[in-house]
Structure 1
Amino acid sequence: MTTENTESIIEEKIDSLLGMMTLDEKIGQMTQVRHFDDISEEDIAGKFIGSVIHTQGPLPGNNAQEWQAKFKHLQELALSTRLGIPLVFGVDAVHGQNTYEGATIFPHNIGMGAAGNAELVEKAARITAIETQATGFNWVFSPCIAIPYNEKWGRVYEAFSESTELTEELTKASIMGHQGNDLKSKRSVMATAKHYVGDGATDFGVEGGETTLDAEEVEKRLLPPYRVAVENGVGSVMASFNSLKGIPMHAHKTLITHILKGTMQFDGIVVSDWKGYSRFGENDVINAGVDMIMAVEGDFDMYQEGLKGGVESGEVSMERIDDAVRRILRQKFRLNVFENPFPNSSLIPEIGIKAHRDVARQAVRESLVLLKNEGNMLPLDKNLSRIVVVGEHANSSGLQSGGWTINWQGTKENYKGATTILEGIQQMAKGEVIYDSDANGNHYDADVAIIVVGETPYAESFGDIGGEMDLYQITLTEAHQKYIEAYASKGIKTVIVLVSGRPLVVTKQIEQSDAFVAAWLLGSEGHGVGEVLFGDYNFKGKLPHSWPKSEEDYNGKYGPNFWDDSITPLFPIGFGLNY
């Protein structure tokens, strides 16, 4: 049967279902809830829920079998309804199935952008799809295809690069990896291009802030990755928290309905972000073209009642409701959940397997960017008699992985299945390796000090610099600067490894070092760092962002980006040394 025939049959099935559905059933399909707190289990059938999301909060169970069992039970409730329309299950699997401890965790997108290897991005997404399906999900809220303009934004690491062209290339690879050639496969998941549009280009890098770019710049710089996503069949697009010229993106009918659904001919689901209905204008959001609402944290009843009232009053047309439900049903048919609604338990043994971790370790190796290598300090000799490894980031898989790892805001602790940077160095070195967590060990007889410093995990607005939370800075902390000073001032050969979700102002620390490596947020396979430091592999990574030289680079709305000729960066985008 041809694709055209298949799609024609799907549309006929949708027409039949729509003709039988009540308004309540349609609004139910347009509703996404958590499997905890927002609803009672009876609401799944009683309110005709269309989708369930798992996020920060109670886990579905203690292991993948229990996760699958929980979602199977919820699916059975949905199938018990008059029309038996199945649920789809969504999760923020943004660098592996990062909500499940024991899964393979890849470098965040900024690291994948540094690697610049589309084939590798596709492999990582394919593995993420398998491990996500193994834990009971068929929809991921990934990839983030923002174009970050200011490193003070707390989500820089979720995006591939400030380069629109590189982002286009890796967007295609990510979608192909997640969705495969056939969404019906139980080894594929529906991908989500996010956040539409302008999330990374807000003034001063404020999460959910105002994007003041004109229409021409939006068209040239921000929309191209979405065109690529649509052309490659992305199943869903998530609306953004930001406003564009004063209009919240969730309520931006021109960009959602006219451009995305009209000009680009996107036929999938436009899903809101967190509490999108209550935050951005209620029924204005539906009228703008958002099809499914995350009705979470108290929004559930007010959303369903508000939308029903809007239809009954004529504020929202039935045509708009039917368009939304048609799109949701279309993707459910494409995912084959009507025929095959339950998770595949045969995939569970593939979670975190060596073959998957090998790909993640390759991604770590290829993402590392060498910024300095004075006197060919690197690669290190494996036979050095004494190596001191400094800094808590060296000995914590949580710290090396960043936000969206096990927890929404990440973790500072080690997590199951991961290898730390320190463990990787210990495996590579034949001499003595000493660990000095806070640089107070005075190991000045070492042949070399490998000092691992960086940011602590954060996600979303919590990571904004100078924003509402203002918990972070564009420089290293005073404590981490002292780690470097402690050894560099004694004349010890010093290799600095920076673990961060963005370029930081580290000009002085680069000067103090003999070698300096940008390692980004590398995920579960810390061993990859040692493999490159000791020369088993060469450096391949290139900067996906231009690198700032001073804090003054951020005096304007934007950082030292490639398109702003008024600022000369310390290193240009694309810079990266090798052996």
Structure 2
Amino acid sequence: MRVLVMGKARWIHLACGGWTMGWQGQVNDDVFDTVDNAVSLIKALQEHSNRNNYTVVDDEEGKGMLNSDYDVIIHVIAEDPYAEVYGDLDDGESLMHHRNQSRSGRHTYPEDLIRLKHARDSAPTTPIITILYSGRPLYVNEEINLSDAFVAAWLPCKQAGPGLTDLPFGAVNFTGRLSMKWPDHPCQFNIRKGDGQLPRFPYSYGLSYEDTHPRNDMPLLDVIELNTCLNPCSDLDGEDNTWESPDCDLGRSSNV
């Protein structure tokens, strides 16, 4: 078996978020070189493959995909580390993970979707497992559509590698369930009971292996491209790619 690992699988600091070895987290993995038992996902997969006789190819950009065949693709997408106010989205900014603009210049990750589209276009029949490191629910409908399996890994930090490696190979079943609702719209910041809004995934949602079904039977999710959410009660100027909140309680997306 040949496994292609793409994206941000080698970066432990992305799996840890803020409040680690520093308030806002780390900008690279240097500090984790001195931390005992800090294992990235790619390192754990390589160690697992050596014990179980399969091949792991580490190709962050997926550039070699057109030249080789793989049995499965693991693609890691992630937010940059943040804590407290530096994790807040500015007023009017959307929850879309792959948005390409923001007022602060933070929290934009278009490269994650570009890589995933490249993988799907290059290998349309190869199973893709997408793993998301994030500190909050995000709008990822298009990323889910392009994946055969999607794992919200949250921030597993220095043991991300061993923990996540056990899951896709069936050594451990998926048992996690959402402790909050997951958005079905890039501007769905606040979802309250009885307000008529439907989340993409409700509170306590989660799948285990017995819940899986063939990819061809999975309905595609609606995809809405919005970089900006315009609150009519704010003084933000309208611009292309905006959505108007139906009321004045747009709220903000917390980093918690």
Which residue is 1:504 aligned to?
A: 138
Which one-letter code corresponds to 1:453 in the other structure?
Answer: I
| 1:467 Cα deviation from its structure 2 partner | 4.5
Of 473, 479, 488, the match for 2:120 = 488
CA shift at 1:564, angstroms?
Answer: 4.7
Match of 1:519 in 2: 153
> Does the Cα contact within 8 Å between 2:131 and 2:150 map onto a contact in 1?
yes
> In structure 2, which of residues 8, 11, 15 is the aligned counterpart of residue 400 of structure 1?
15
Does structure 2 conserve the Cα–Cα contact (< 8 Å) formed by 1:505 and 1:550?
yes
Instruction: Give the TM-score, by structure 1 length.
Output: 0.31
What value does the CA root-mean-square deviation take over the aligned residues?
1.9
The aligned residue for residue 451 of structure 1 is 75
Within the candidate set 538, 541, 544, 2:173 is matched to 538
Residues 467 and 405 (structure 1), Cα distance of their counterparts in 2 relative to 1, 3 Å cut: farther
Q: For the structure 1 residues 454 and 564, does the alpha-carbon distance in structure 2 shift closer, same or farther, using more than 3 Å as the test?
A: farther
How far, CA to CA, are the matches of 2:63 and 2:112 in structure 1? 12
- Compute the displacement of 1:412 (Å): 3.3
Instruction: Give the C-alpha shift of residue 565 in structure 1.
Output: 3.3
Query: What do residues 461-489 of structure 1 show as CA deviations (whole Å, max 9, x unaligned)?
Result: 11111259x7x954232100011101112
What SS is found at the alignment partner of 1:440?
coil
Residue in 2 that maps onto 1:386: 2
Q: Distance in 1 between matches of 2:4 and 2:13?
A: 21
SS in 2 for 1:513: coil
Q: With structure 2 as the length reference, what TM-score do the two structures score?
A: 0.68
Contact 2:74–2:128 (Cα < 8 Å) also in 1: yes
Task: Write the distance in 2 (CA, Å) between the matches of 1:552 and 1:458.
Answer: 21
Of 11, 27, 45 in structure 2, the residue corresponding to residue 412 of structure 1 is: 27
Task: Give distance in 1, aligned partners of 2:15 and 2:81.
Answer: 8
Give 1:145-294 correspondences, 5 Å limit: none
1:367-425 CA-partner distances (Å, limit 9, x unpaired): xxxxxxxxxxxxxxxxxx21011112x10111111011111110132202211111222
- Matches of 1:552 and 1:474, distance apart in 2: 8
Picking from 191, 212, 227, the partner of 1:560 is: 191
- Is the alpha carbon distance of 1:560 and 1:426 closer, same or farther for their aligned partners in structure 2, counting shifts above 3 Å? farther
SS at match of 1:456: coil
Any conservation in 2 of the 1:461–1:467 contact (CA below 8 Å)?
no
* Matching of residues 2-151 of structure 1 within 5 Å: none
Matches within 5 A, 1:267-416: 385-392=1-8, 394-414=9-29, 415=32, 416=35
Pick the aligned partner of 1:433 from 56, 66, 73.
56
SS at match of 1:548: coil
Q: How many residues of Structure 1 are paired with residues of Structure 2 in the alignment?
A: 187
The alignment status of 1:442 with 2:65, answered yes or no, reads: yes
SS of alignment partner, residue 525 of structure 1: helix
Deviation (angstroms), 1:493? 1.5
| Partner Cα separation in structure 2 for residue 564 and residue 502 of structure 1 | 22
Q: Cα deviation per residue 1:419-473 (whole Å; 9 max; x = unaligned)?
A: 11112222223311011112333255111110000101011111111259x7x95
Give the SS at the match of 2:159.
coil
Q: Is the 8 A contact 1:402 1:457 kept in 2?
A: yes
> Is the alpha carbon distance of 1:564 and 1:435 closer, same or farther for their aligned partners in structure 2, counting shifts above 3 Å?
farther
Percent of matched pairs sharing the same residue: 33
Counterpart amino acid of 1:578? S
In structure 1, stretches of 5+ residues that fail to align are 1-384
Asked which structure has the greater RCO (Cα within 8 Å, sep 6+), the reply is 2
Higher helix share: 1
* Partner residue, 1:13: none
